[in-house]
A and B are shown apart, each in its own frame.
Chain A
């Protein structure tokens, strides 16, 4: 009985003041567990180094020493599975009215899940929608994070936490890029792919 209540309680969406500190605690946890620096986008580089190094100096390093990073992201994937199967929120996702109205105007119709089914579905993979949101978007994420030397975890959280100004510059650039996409390019791009 108590167990059921507990499951019901943690199945509700977690507020920022619970989730944020938990994300932040990953920084000391990794440092203390094994002198590791928090950074997730590096895992993509290790995948390249293992599968397609192609003699490129950028991918010629001892990736075996970095296996922990791949184990960590595998854990994230399993964590996603556990929470969606056992701890899934029974209620509909609450989205800010302003954002809902703006996205509806752009052509989004399904607001029920964590991701809009109008965009992120297998049927869309070989269409303009898939090309822009999955392929082009993913490419920018992979190219940009490595060019910047880190992502939200490596720069925004680990870098700023250790008071390094280059990481603050990187984080501000992430945000500017996101604002530009959302307010300038997203509308025209969505029109282009048939929304």
Chain B
């Protein structure tokens, strides 16, 4: 059992939570507010639009490249500042940015996600914003995405990685 737990801990490395203390109840409200702001940006910048994603893959508009590109530049500057100034988290912990190891899955899985991205016009984040902004039928897409995630988890050890 101990071994299994350790294994499972190692598995959870995609968007890890480095905070030592668990957070419950009101402590989670800050993530709700951040999510709300993020959802508003998604809709107002039309990132949730199937048409904007089509423009991106048809190279007819700079919009999505501008959004993702400037988000990355902002992220790079922020992370460099956090590292160089030794900024700590609100709980006073050292900020921990985990290393992503290269796996073949990043190529195979990446291609598969890309195929789906152009069909649905959404990555996982915009799926939630689409549902919220009244495209309730996207609940079907979200459920299918959960099914896809489950299927990957079920066969993860049999796939080349």
Using Cβ atoms and an 8 Å threshold, which residues of chain B touch A27?
74-75, 78-79
B123:A153 contact, CB within 8 angstroms: yes
Task: Report yes or no: B100 in contact with A144, Cβ–Cβ below 8 A.
Answer: no
Interface hub of A27, A122, A183 (most chain B Cβ within 10 A): A27
Cα distance, A162 to B101, chains bound together (Å): 13
Residues of B within 8 A of A178 (CB): 53, 56-57, 114-115, 117-118
A35, B145: Cβ atoms closer than 8 Å:
no
Per the 8 Å Cβ criterion, residues 54-101 of A in contact with B are 54, 56-62, 64-69, 71-84, 87, 89, 93, 95-99
Residue numbers in B under 8 Å from A163 (CB-CB):
76, 79
Residues of A close to B82: CB separation below 8 A: 28, 31-32
When the two chains form the complex, which single residue of B16, B38, B112, B127 contacts A75, counting CB atoms closer than 8 Å?
B38
Q: Is the interface of B mostly helix, strand, loop or mixed?
A: helix
Q: How many A-B residue pairs have CB under 8 A?
A: 557
| Residue A30 CB within 8 A of the other chain | yes
- What is the interface size of chain B, counting residues whose CB is below 8 A from a CB of the partner? 133
User: Knowing A79-B132, A134-B120 touch, does A146 contact B149 (C-beta < 8 A)?
Assistant: yes
A153 nearest CB neighbor, chain B only: B125
Given contacts A137-B141, A177-B111, contact A64 B22 (CB under 8 A): yes
Partner of A160, one of B4, B41, B70, B72: B72
Q: Is the CB of A14 within 8 A of B14?
A: no
User: In the complex the two chains form, what is the Cα distance from A142 to B115 in whole Å?
Assistant: 11
